[in-house]
Homo-oligomer: A and B are copies of this chain.
Amino acid sequence: MKHISSKDLLDFAKNVFLKIGCTSQDATLAAEVLIAADRRGIDSHGAARMSGYVRLWEAGRINTRPSIKVIHETPSTAVIDGDSGLGLVVAPYAMKMAIEKAKIAGTGWVSVQNSNHFGIAGIHAMMALENDMIGIAMTNASALVAPTFSMERMLGTNPIAIAIPAKEQPAIVADFATTTASNGKLEILQRENKSTPEGWVQDEAGNASTDAAELKKGGSLLPLGSDKIHGSHKGYALGSIVDIFSAVLSGASYGPWVPPFPAYVPMPENMPGKGLGHFFGAMRVDAFRPKETYYHHIDHWIKRMREAKPAPGYDKVLIPGDPERAMEKITETVGISLNDKVYEDLKELDKKFSIHFFKKDL
């Protein structure tokens, strides 16, 4: 385990994005979005993916000089073609457009085709907060999840993020995969040689499993709810909605045809659309109530929820976003921890691109 300051990690990431051809502005943005994951404690989506993005670029699947275009719009909606750009850059562009629409029409909704992985959903939804808006961000991803009653991978972990502004209280920021457990959690268990709790995965034949390496053997993640009796049809519905809003509305690829993140995995045949899809929303709070009244009540809502009686063995009730905010404070002061594999990955990128960042060993 190595420690690095978030500023240094940001600088390094920016350098890598510059080396693969991004403009300075895009490299800064992409680095900020990517490293926000590490800063907020969602390691699986940050520096750990840096080399994966580079390999996608090497495979010609990412265009680092995209011309992002609006291909359709109405007063409150737009569809954007990301031109195979980094999702880390395309997503903020689209979210900004949702916010601009909301300024005029009250709400703005933007669906995106022809994009790539966009990092953590929460960071995009949070762009709405400083505009006194509720922000929504979702994306599809390559298929790892079996629908209820199925043994076949049909949907990605398809996360949903919703950011709700508050004033005296910190904002509510929900950001979650529509599965019972994320792939990132499986990776941690694999490193520790542990098995998963029941209800996280099933094997290739559709049988219950607790093998943390099940996805490598053709198994699947289970939708939020785990099994029918615990509501997995609800998680399956949520994952489906994310896929449809992100791709069927935009013209991106969907279901089992979503392009894979690992560059060595061949692209699916007969793709019904272009690249990955995302969906963004922004709703001005004063499109519903006067701003001050809204803030009074959302603060009251949050405060009351925090005062809910804790169950035995727990200190307090959390608000969506609390754990990530706590991690942000920690990484700000003590820096970001990189596991050995990620550290070696970054050192290799450093060498490959002659960035000379890791001359000083961490």
Chain A residues within CB distance 8 Å of chain B = 72, 74-77, 79, 104-107, 109, 111, 146-152, 154, 162, 164, 172, 174, 176, 178-181, 197, 199-200, 202, 205-207, 224-226, 229-231, 233-238, 240-241, 243-244, 248-251, 254-256, 272-273, 283-285, 287-289, 293-294, 297-298, 300-301, 304-305, 308-312, 314, 316-318, 320
Contact = CB atoms under 8 A, between A and B. Distances in A.
Contacts of A107: 74, 76-77, 107, 109
Given A162-B241, A207-B311, A273-B297, 5 more contacts: A147-B317, A151-B310, A151-B312, A174-B240, A255-B304
A128 to B, nearest CB: 14
A287 B250 contact: no
A106 B77 contact: yes
A94 to B, nearest CB: 13
A200 to B, nearest CB: 8
Copies in the complex: 2
Nearest to A153: B308
Most buried by B among A200, A224, A243, A256: A224
A283 B234 contact: no
B231 A176 contact: yes
A229 B197 contact: yes
A91 to B, nearest CB: 17
Given A75-B106, A76-B75, A230-B226, A255 B147 contact: no
Contact of A248 (B162, B180, B297): B297
28 contacts: A74-B105, A74-B106, A75-B104, A75-B106, A77-B288, A79-B288, A79-B289, A109-B283, A148-B317, A150-B311, A162-B241, A176-B233, A176-B237, A197-B229, A197-B230, A206-B311, A225-B225, A237-B320, A240-B305, A243-B301, A244-B298, A248-B294, A248-B297, A251-B297, A254-B301, A255-B301, A255-B304, A272-B300
A320 B234 CA distance: 9
B224 A234 contact: yes
Contacts of A147: 305, 308, 317
Contacts of A154: 304-305, 308
A320 B180 contact: no
A205 B305 contact: no
A150 B255 contact: no
Nearest to A234: B176
A156 to B, nearest CB: 14
A146 B317 CA distance: 10
Contact of A72 (B206, B272, B288): B288
Nearest to A155: B305
A314 B310 CA distance: 40
